[in-house]
Structure 1
Amino acid sequence: MRTFFYYALMLLLGYAWYRAGQNLLRKGYRDEKGELTQGIVGPVGFLMAGGVTCYLFFAMLRALVRGEIPCVGKGCAGQVYTLAAHAGEYWANLFFIAWCVLGLGYAMYVTLKIWFRA
């Protein structure tokens, strides 16, 4: 049951993140106060999000190829889950990393769309 709530909350968070990005894209060049519309992340945040996204994407591809993934949480630091021995934990950690990659990638996409409006 806890796993169901975990995945349901992840989907709800993803939907809220998507709606927030769409609301920013729907705004014009200026918001209600007359200021320029800002993206989700600024220039430094964009570079940091890009670096973290690339690292997590590489870790995700590495986990898919090798069939093992290090634990993502604090309670199991140093533990490695393999697809053969711990399939549930393996896919849960891989799903979490993929979710982070998608969320950060979407934030960068929205920011670039706002920066390069024609």
Structure 2
Amino acid sequence: MRSFIYYSLMLLLGFAWYKFGQKLLRKGYRDERGELTEGMVGPVGFLMCAGVACYLFFAMMRALIRGEVPCLGRGCQGVVYTLAANAGDYWANMFFMLWLVLGLGYALYVTYKIWFRL
């Protein structure tokens, strides 16, 4: 039951993130106060999000190829989950990394589209 609630909340948060990005994209070049519409992240945040997303994507590809993923929590540092021995924990960590990559990628996409509007 706990896993169901966890994944449901992750999907709900992803949906809210998507709706927020769509709301920003629907805004015009300027908002209601006459100021320029800003993206989800600024220039430094854009570079940081791009770096973290690339690192997580690389870690995800590495985990798919090697069949093992390190635990991503604070309470289990140093633990490595393998696909053969811990399939559930392996796929849970892979899903979490994929969710982070997609969320950061969407933030970068929305910011890029807002910055380069014509």
Normalising to structure 1: TM-score of the pair? Answer: 0.99
Within 1, Cα distance between the matches of 2:4 and 2:37? 37
Q: Which residue of 2 aligns with 1:19?
A: 19
Within 2, Cα distance between the matches of 1:31 and 1:112? 17
Which string of whole-angstrom CA distances, capped at 9 and with x for unpartnered residues, describes residues 48-105 of structure 1? 0000000000000000000000000001000000000000000000000000000000
User: Structure 1 stretches of 5 or more lacking a match?
Assistant: none
C-alpha RMSD of the superposition? 0.3
User: Structure 2 stretches of 5 or more lacking a match?
Assistant: none
Q: Which amino acid aligns with 2:63?
A: A
Aligned residues: 118
Structure 1 stretches of at least 4 aligned residues deviating more than 6 Å after TM superposition: none
Shift of 1:36: 0.2
Query: Which runs of structure 2 are paired with 1:1-118 in the superposition (5 Å)?
Result: 1-118=1-118
Shift of 1:17: 0.1
